[in-house]
Amino acid sequence: MTVIAPAGFEAAGVAAGIKRSGALDLAVVVNRGPSQQAAVVFTSNRAQANPILWSKEVAKDGVVSAIVLNSGGANCFTGPEGFQVTHRTAEAAAAALGVAAGDVLVCSTGLIGEQLDGEVLEEGVLSAVNRLGADAAAGEDAARAIMTTDTKPKTVVVDGGAAGARWRIGGMAKGAGMLAPGLATMLVVLTTDAALEASVLDRALRQATRVSFDRLDSDGCMSTNDQVTLLASGASGVVADEAEFTAALSAACLDLAAQLQADAEGASHDITIEVLGAVTEDDAVEVGRSVARNNLFKAAIFGNDPNWGRVLAAIGTTAAPFDPYLVDVSMNGVRVCHAGRPDRPRDEVDLAPRATHVRIELHAGEASATILTNDLTHDYVHENSAYAS
């Protein structure tokens, strides 16, 4: 039931006519309250789409009544006219819902540099508002409406609290390419019926995204439109414990991040890079990311080649403190490198399964981190060479 699983939310997804295919391309998620508290994190890319510029202002007071999301066009680098389209979209939703335009977030995803038709978006918003519902079909349509190159919708539901004081988190995400920190080329909407203030939501969301979406690094490319939104209705009447809520939210984000990884464009391997024995967590992240962004390593995995030398070459480019001649590397449970020297034979490593686990032990400290990535395939190159055609 995705974003409408928690009490207090309605959603809809419609075919507004943005996509030439006639597929669903516009979603609306509404928080019916009694509270409209929210937190949002945005791409760290300095090149930001018009919806990001609008939504950053909306999010400042921590109050959000609704969010409109469209696929089929990023509305990025489209000048003042593009910003007016975003403004018009928010105004249309506000008028239809009886809320303030300054409490309506807007998200867009698709091709950069193409103008969106404001009239089409406005009519799509009105159509979506007329179809708002809190049933499974409404949530499914909303999740499908935000897809671009995704092959399937990504949704999650996590329950929390104790007997008699339960609360729930729901969520939907889109993303299949440009998956790299600065979040990813993702749009994510998370909802909860827990009664929490915006400041608590903000702390929880930043912690959850730090260990999930910010560690998904499929192709090293950062989007202009990334936005992860958390809306709280308070409809359960339960004030969730902050630590418990943060853990549940992190679990939801990790689930969605894994779904994004599994649907990455053209990928044939989902690679989990686990770094152990770093001096600090940041060092572990830097080491893991150096491997995730190494095209030689990623191409080797595509070819089912356990080329551990490419792992060592990649991590040697980092500033993290460790001795490369003490490092161990394992692939799918086989330690192929021990103390910077060959260990088990390469042919003992089975890289045929899609799930690939690389374990790097630095022997420099106690910190660890995990990075998610994919291999580099012919299909990835073909899909991205033909994206705008």
CATH at 351: 3.10.20.340
Residue 272 pLDDT:
97
Same structural domain, 174 and 323: no
Per the structure block, which two tokens stand in for 349?
């490593």
Residue 389 pLDDT:
47
Residue 343 pLDDT:
97
Residue 217 pLDDT:
86
Residue 262 within any structural domain of the chain: no
Distance CA 64, CA 201 (A): 12
Residue 1 pLDDT:
67
Residue 91: phi and psi, rounded to 5, are: -65, -40
185 noted as active-site residue: yes
Same structural domain, 353 and 283: yes
Partnered with residue 26 across adjacent β-strands are: 14, 70
Distance CA 1, CA 138 (A): 8
Same structural domain, 79 and 172: yes
The total of structural domains in the chain comes to: 2
- The number of helix segments (H) and strand segments (E) in the chain equals 10, 15
Residue 173 within any structural domain of the chain: yes
Residue ranges for the chain with pLDDT beneath 70: 1, 176-185, 220, 382-389
Residue 263 within any structural domain of the chain: no
Residue 265 within any structural domain of the chain: no
Residue 99: phi and psi, rounded to 5, are: -125, 180
Residue 55 within any structural domain of the chain: yes
Question: Which CATH number is 10's domain given?
Answer: 3.60.70.12
Q: Which residues contact 240 (CB under 8 A, 6 or more apart)?
A: 160, 161, 167, 192, 194, 195, 196
Same structural domain, 215 and 241: yes
Whole-prediction pTM value?
Answer: 0.91
Domain boundary among 195, 230, 257: 257
Same structural domain, 237 and 277: no
Same structural domain, 158 and 302: no
Show the domain range for 44.
2-257
Using alpha carbons, select from 93, 78, 98 the residue that is nearest to residue 16.
93
Residue 184 pLDDT:
44
Residue 301 within any structural domain of the chain: yes
H/E stretch holding 249 reads helix 242-262
**β pairing state of 66-71 and 104-109:** parallel
Question: Of 2, 86, 155, 185, which residue is the catalytic one?
Answer: 185
Same structural domain, 54 and 200: yes
